[in-house]
A and B are shown apart, each in its own frame.
Chain A
Amino acid sequence: MLFNIFLYAAALVFLLVSFSRDRGKTRAALKKGWKSFENILPLFLFILLLTGMLLTWLDEATISRLIGAESGWTGLLLTGIIGSITLIPAFVAYPMAGELLRAGAGYAQITMFITTLMMVGVVTLPLERKLFGRLAFLRNGLGLVYSLLAALAMGWIFA
């Protein structure tokens, strides 16, 4: 709640400063903001309904068996694979991760999902390779190793 108030206050201050300096730019900024929201809206709605259905059909016992703290390496493998191959924007992934966490998923497994989602991109590897060649593979490999370390650390800290 406090966090939301802070967000609105910050946005309002920035908006007013921007408006007092340049109306046209401010209008363009709002348009851009709306456009980037509208861009993710389809996927956003899809993931939110999917999450709703998942949580309806999978009870907490099933979720925690699959990716709970007790699921250990199997859960990490599962979340790591999903995070590495899918391209889900963070705006969509975080709410989903939050819901799963509340429904019994483990901190390590959720961190593995989020971190591989951001650092490892199997789908975008060809694009990355065009510029970086061999280093692209290495960067993704290191990203995977780092994701695992971060997941274990988060699992340990939030145990």
Chain B
Amino acid sequence: MNTCLELLKRYRLFAVLLLVNFGILAFMPEMGLRSFQLMGKNVVEMLVFIPPIFVMLGLLDVWVERETLMRFMGPGSGFRGGVLAFVVGSMAAGPLYMAFPIAAMLIRKGASFLNVFMFIGAWATTKVPMLLFEASSLGLRYTLVRLVLNVCGIIAIGWVLRGVLTSEEAAAIQAKAEAMQGEGRKQPAR
């Protein structure tokens, strides 16, 4: 009973729209039918390439240990650290707001700010499963061109942000990151 209600709650937006279109179907059969046909076509198209993407998403989540990778991203990690920040951000799954707690963890563990900014940028735009999805929907050429632009953009934004970062501000962010430690396991400063 409870799960039924929960299901309805989760799908309420879709259910409302479905009802609306059924109403349209009743009064304007042509328009209603066309909407369903267009949706059906897209659903089928999606179902063809969704399974492998989500299989890989799950595998990434299970096999890529976040903590071990983070150790390599501190100040002085240089080019390699930057690349790694990109890779870690790209391997992640989840919406951008989930990146902020992890960014806080990175800061706590001593990652450099430039790397943290790159990590956030990569999380937002260059995630591997999303790239696959983008290529499926918008074409490989579009995806690759945009990827190149995005990498440049992310680095540029990271540089500017680090450039304007004052040392007091860095200390304040560091303090906030320490305070955001939710799990209760205290980490050493470095």
**Complex: A65 Cα to B15 Cα, angstroms:** 31
Residue B140, interface by CB 8 Å: yes
Residue A81, interface by CB 8 Å: no
Residue B70, interface by CB 8 Å: no
Q: Considering the complex, give the chain A residue whose CB is closest to the CB of B55.
A: A11
Looking at A11, A44, A124, the one whose CB has the most chain B CB atoms below 10 A away is A11
Q: Is the interface of B mostly helix, strand, loop or mixed?
A: helix
What is the number of contacts between chain A and chain B, taking CB atoms within 8 Å?
Answer: 205
Min CB–CB distance A153 → chain B (angstroms): 6
Min CB–CB distance A156 → chain B (angstroms): 11
The interface residues of chain A lying within 8 Å CB-to-CB of B136 are 3-4, 7, 94
The interface residues of chain B lying within 8 Å CB-to-CB of A51 are 38-39, 42
As a 0/1 sequence over residues 46 to 87 of chain B, the CB contacts with chain A under 8 angstroms (1 = contact) are: 101111111111110111000000000000000000000000
- Per CB-CB distance, the 3 closest pairs between chain A and chain B, nearest first, are A33-B58, A11-B52, A52-B38
- B residues near A (Cβ < 8 Å) are 10-11, 13-14, 17-18, 21, 31, 34-39, 42-43, 45-46, 48-59, 61-63, 93, 95-97, 100, 103-104, 117, 120-121, 124-125, 127, 130, 132-138, 140, 142, 145-146, 149-150, 153, 156-157, 160-161, 164-165, 169, 172-173, 176-177, 180
